[in-house]
Amino acid sequence: MMQLQDILFSQGFGTRRICCGLVQQGLVAVGSAHNVCCDPLEAFPAEGLEFWVQGVHWTYHARAYLLLHKPAGYECSQKPGAHPSVYTLLPGPLRQRGGGAAAGVQAVGRLDHDTTGLLLLSDDGKFIHRLTSPRHHVPKVYEVHVRHPLQETAVRRLLTGVVLDDDPEPVRAASCRIVSDLHLQMTLTEGKYHQVKRMLAAVGNRVESLHRSALGPLSLDDGPAEGRWRWLTSEEVDSLTRKVPGQAS
């Protein structure tokens, strides 16, 4: 059981003082019956609790696991430079969950400002590490549109390994498939800086547009629409963190 003001605080609705005020002003309703609660100290079973804050529906989540369909023109940074932050596409409470210096959800890895597609966000540090550590080889599928027609010889080089300018060890694509003359589907299991663009440059081509269509078992086939987000289901979270036989712990 948790006090209502603590539930609101944990979900990012402000300081405990602000959350207490929201409740006392009658701006919070709880449960399927929409019962307005004016006592900030009243306790409820937290997990899965439905509540409304100023008429907006929320469900309690101990941890946040989100899937965002990132559009072009957004930076995966809390302090962006020339472009708006991808975090502005999320509601305020998701950006303030937990309070403190590291408040809110964080991107699970990054996509360049001009790259679109599947981006995960979470406030669970272990989950983020699990998916971003190169030891775990989480596959990421990219739709790569290039300037020059694709050649099988270039694809073979991407599969056998190319050397990038800052790393003497060759990097390889886990798989490559030519979809059309100017469209390559590439799967990577690591995430070096500008890796897809630099790998294509190493074989004499140039990336014109880049879209991440899948990460692990998740894809954008069923949405959400570009610029929109949704919660991951518990089954999806489990599928992302389940250890594959032979995979590092």
End-to-end CA distance of the chain: give it in Å, rounded.
34
- CA-based torsion, 8, 10, 11, 16: positive or negative: positive
Answer yes or no: are the C-beta atoms of 147 and 210 closer than 8 Å: no
Q: Quick check: is 112 catalytic? A: yes
Hey, what are 44's tokens?
Answer: 């409820």
How far out from the chain centre does Cα 181 lie? 30
Enumerate the H helices of the chain as residue ranges: 4-10, 16-24, 92-96, 125-132, 152-160, 195-202, 234-241
CB contact at 8 A, 40 and 4: yes
Beta bridge partners of 46: none
Choosing from 112, 114, 181, 221, which is the catalytic residue? 112
The amino acid sitting at 49 is: L
Helix 152-160 with 195-202: angle, nearest 10 deg: 120
**Catalytic (active-site) positions:** 112
